[in-house]
Amino acid sequence: AQGGLRKSTENHNQLNRNFPNHDSFSRKQKIAQHRKSLPIASVEKRLVDEVRKNDILIIVGETGSGKTTQLPQFLFNAGFCREGKTIGITQPRRVAAVTVAKRVAEECGVQLGQRVGYSIRFEDTTSGSTRIKYMTDGLLLREALLDPYLSRYSVIIVDEAHERTVHTDVLLGLLKDVQKARSKTFNGHLNSESKTTDGTMLDKDNGAAAISFLKQSQGGKFPPLKLVIMSASLDARGFSEYFGGAKAVHIQGRQFPVDIFYTHHAEPDYLDATLITIFQIHLEEGPGDILVFLTGQEEIESVERLIKERLQRLPEGSQKLLTVPIFSALPSEKQMRAFAPAPTGFRKVILATNIAETSITIPGIRYVIDPGFVKARSYDPLKGMESLIIVPTSKAQALQRSGRAGREGPGKCFRLYPEGEFEKLEDSTKPEIKRCNLSNVILQLKALGVDDILGFDFMEKPSRASIVKSLEQLYLLGALTDECKLSNPVGQQMARLPLDPVYSKALILASQFNCLEEMLITVALLSVESIFYTPREKFEEARTAMKCFSSPEGDHLTLINVYRASDEFLEKRTMGLNKEKSEKILRKWCKENFINSRSLRHARDIHSQIRGHVEQMGLCIASCGDDMLPFRRCLAASFFINAALKQPEGTYRALASGQVVQIHPSSVLFQAKPECIIFNELVQTNHKYIRNITRIDYLWLSELAPQSNLMVTGSFVWQWLFNLVQPLVSGCCLMAMYNDSMRSFLSRH
């Protein structure tokens, strides 16, 4: 009987190989049907015509109308990828780039990475044959460094422009210039008297438009670049004005009525209110999935756990509720689960961050729960401190969220705050460029040859104070010269690394301190979610496990210990095993040691990529072995901007900003409380917590980072004056804090 069974399976496999599986066939039909039913399908021809006619087109359409998934396919079919050109679509969020690319690959019936692919930082699935490329807006900015004309693209679609991320805003300004420059080179080639890619000529011809980086770039002719700006916000005026009166087309959406419910009173605990609402809907309302907007991974995981606990207490038969989380750090296979329909009889409850607001559309939603909060970046240019804080949504966000309930039929939205509060919300969210640290984008703009940052054609200008603060930070890091030009080699090298400028600088310094191996590990581990896995129910066990790795010198050394231990384990135990097997036993090791295996794998990936970059740059990759002193000194030299001193009451004062902060309980130095430390991260909840901390010697600061002296005097001597006259003459005060070269540096910019 066994033989027979085996045989029949073989036959079955053979059948599958020779004939398309019935399921996949009907899935294809379903997809084709779904595509035809989207609002955008009826205007395909018109959209293609408009893109042909207009070099810049703004497309505004309700979320879910098919902009992101369909337009690139329309353009591909209309021949916009001739001669090997690519259509690039930028997304503000990684999750959207990944999930949409997968969906579109499926719709096209191709393997991901062939015609359709995505590229995000540290993960590139594209190949030479990719013609529809989804990517993050930040990634396209990086590409511009290597290919200033963005020559491989025939069309660039800036999607979700209404989100106004800092990268989108910078990209818009840059694309404007690239487009002008490309049409010049093209026309120049047509009337051959022009000397093509000579940038100086472009400058003259084009007024301020052309960018000096084009001066250095290779000759050749580039066909004009088409730009499409897509937005879910109904107001296209801002974009149209910015692009000199560009044409805007509106796609008629399909929106069913959504009933909005408010609470009677303000909810003291919105997570608890969320849970109650989920179960109320589950038990009392008709079929349909629920979408819940939470602020981040921690909230999502805690609500997920609470749902599971409460479900067990429900009578049998009413337990058919399936929770599916979706957030950026989730592995992409798991992200895709949000799109799969729930098993028959089950109701799906999707716990999402605001990625589900407009970036991705999940089918089947009838109920939306909106506690009314979002996690947002916030920046204090005077203190130079960036933090993530939880703030109320804007009205526009609240409307987008409720709209998700009415995509396929009438729906309901439960806003977990009183109606009167809605009126108090801001109309729309402030663009990110007005509330973030600009060091990173300024470094990139400088690398692109845009020297006059204040004069750059931003859609909305960041404040002078925050530009000055970021220039100052870059100057302190050695990325800028006294003339405010990108320094060579440090600034140039920093711009090439796909990392926060502080981390890039740390790698460069580490090569001088002979501990680049250690710094690579550190930067990789600091770039992922926490490496330690501390489940609530096994808290003590996890803590004990962590002690095996912990170093009395601090968190950075602890991270290195974990990484080295995993390396050692892999070397010893997985020799000769194939990749799958070794990954499996590494996962087991992680579990036993309360290490988050996903974070570790991700970190190992990032490690090998950054290692590749620094090798290419020719930095000296050495290890300091077991003597961690040079490494700690290098940490001090790298992160001196985040040095802090202990206060008598056990809190710390950050030297640069004068802020009072506390060591986060997860730090290995939480108890020890050394005199002087450096830290990497400030998290603002009820307290101002610092994380990822290492003990240093105070004297190292003046020895290794003489620039830090300026900050020290700044924070103590000038602090009172600073507070006194801050709003009026903060610029002057800033200058007073710095020595002569800094003063002249600032006065010139």
Q: Which residues in this chain contact Mg ion in the complex, by CB under 5 A?
A: 67-68
Q: How far is the CB of 517 from ligand ADP (least distance, A)?
A: 40
Give yes or no for residue 411 binding ligand ADP (CB under 6 A). no
Structure tokens at 260: 């909005």
CA angle 698, 702, 705 (to 5 degrees): 110
What is the distance between the alpha carbons of residues 416 and 272, in angstroms, rounded to a whole number? 10
* Three-state SS annotation for 405-454: HHCCCCEEEEECCCHHHHHHCCCCCCCHHHCCCCHHHHHHHHHCCCCCCC
What is the distance between the alpha carbons of residues 469 and 261, in angstroms, rounded to a whole number? 44
Give yes or no for residue 64 binding ligand ADP (CB under 6 A). yes
Residues 6+ away with beta carbon under 8 Å from 63: 232, 253, 357, 358, 361, 400, 403, 404
Stretch that binds ligand ADP, among 59-67, 380-388, 447-455, 551-559 (CB under 6 A): 59-67
Give yes or no for residue 99 binding ligand ADP (CB under 6 A). yes
Give yes or no for residue 61 binding ligand ADP (CB under 6 A). yes
Indicate the residue among 38 and 683 with the shorter CB distance to ligand ADP. Answer: 38
Stretch that binds ligand ADP, among 66-74, 512-520, 565-573, 707-715 (CB under 6 A): 66-74
Q: Which does 69 bind (CB under 5 to 8 A by kind): Mg ion, ligand ADP, none?
A: ligand ADP
Q: How far is the CB of 339 from ligand ADP (least distance, A)?
A: 4
Structure tokens at 104: 């579109």
Helix (H) or strand (E) holding 326: strand 321-326
Contact 689, 661 (CB under 8 A): yes
Give yes or no for residue 73 binding ligand ADP (CB under 6 A). no
Single residue of 165, 231, 361, 527 touching ligand ADP by CB under 6 A: 361
The amino acid that residue 200 corresponds to is T
CA angle 297, 663, 717 (to 5 degrees): 125
Structure tokens at 581: 């097997």
Give yes or no for residue 231 binding ligand ADP (CB under 6 A). no
Task: Identify the three-state secondary structure at position 607.
Answer: helix
What is the distance between the alpha carbons of residues 329 and 170, in angstroms, rounded to a whole number? 25
Q: Which does 165 bind (CB under 5 to 8 A by kind): Mg ion, ligand ADP, none?
A: none
Q: Which does 596 bind (CB under 5 to 8 A by kind): Mg ion, ligand ADP, none?
A: none
Q: Which does 552 bind (CB under 5 to 8 A by kind): ligand ADP, Mg ion, none?
A: none
Residue 241 vs residues 238, 561, 746: alpha-carbon distances, Å: 5, 55, 33
Q: Which does 103 bind (CB under 5 to 8 A by kind): ligand ADP, Mg ion, none?
A: ligand ADP
Q: How far is the CB of 405 from Mg ion (least distance, A)?
A: 17
Single residue of 339, 422, 458, 718 touching ligand ADP by CB under 6 A: 339
Give yes or no for residue 68 binding ligand ADP (CB under 6 A). yes
Number of Cβ atoms within 10 Å of the Cβ of 637: 22
Stretch that binds ligand ADP, among 65-73, 168-176, 261-269, 521-529 (CB under 6 A): 65-73
What is the distance between the alpha carbons of residues 316 and 534, in angstroms, rounded to a whole number? 31
Give yes or no for residue 354 binding ligand ADP (CB under 6 A). no
Task: Indicate the burial class of 647 (C-beta count within 10 angstroms; 0-12, 13-18, 19 or more).
Answer: exposed
Give yes or no for residue 233 binding ligand ADP (CB under 6 A). no
Give yes or no for residue 90 binding ligand ADP (CB under 6 A). no
Q: How far is the CB of 338 from ligand ADP (least distance, A)?
A: 8
Nearest residue to Mg ion, using CB? 68
Q: How far is the CB of 348 from ligand ADP (least distance, A)?
A: 13
Give yes or no for residue 148 binding ligand ADP (CB under 6 A). no
Total residues interacting with ligand ADP, rule: CB under 6 A: 15
How many residues in total does the chain contain? 749
Stretch that binds ligand ADP, among 63-71, 257-265, 345-353, 573-581 (CB under 6 A): 63-71
The amino acid that residue 430 corresponds to is K
What is the distance between the alpha carbons of residues 169 and 745, in angstroms, rounded to a whole number? 27
Q: Which does 361 bind (CB under 5 to 8 A by kind): Mg ion, ligand ADP, none?
A: ligand ADP
Q: How far is the CB of 621 from ligand ADP (least distance, A)?
A: 41
Contact 415, 398 (CB under 8 A): yes
Q: Considering only residues 545-564, where is the footprint of ligand ADP by CB under 6 A?
A: none
Give yes or no for residue 66 binding ligand ADP (CB under 6 A). yes
Which residue, chain included where needed, has tokens 């994380």? 691
Q: Which does 38 bind (CB under 5 to 8 A by kind): ligand ADP, Mg ion, none?
A: ligand ADP
Structure tokens at 23: 């399921």
Indicate the residue among 253 and 498 with the shorter CB distance to ligand ADP. Answer: 253
- Strands 132-136 and 116-120 come out as parallel
Q: How far is the CB of 247 from ligand ADP (least distance, A)?
A: 19
- Cα 34 versus chain centre, distance: 30
Stretch that binds ligand ADP, among 62-70, 182-190, 366-374, 730-738 (CB under 6 A): 62-70
Indicate the residue among 64 and 188 with the shorter CB distance to ligand ADP. Answer: 64
Using CB under 6 A as the criterion, which residues of the chain lie in contact with ligand ADP when the complex forms?
38, 61, 63-70, 99, 103, 339, 361, 363
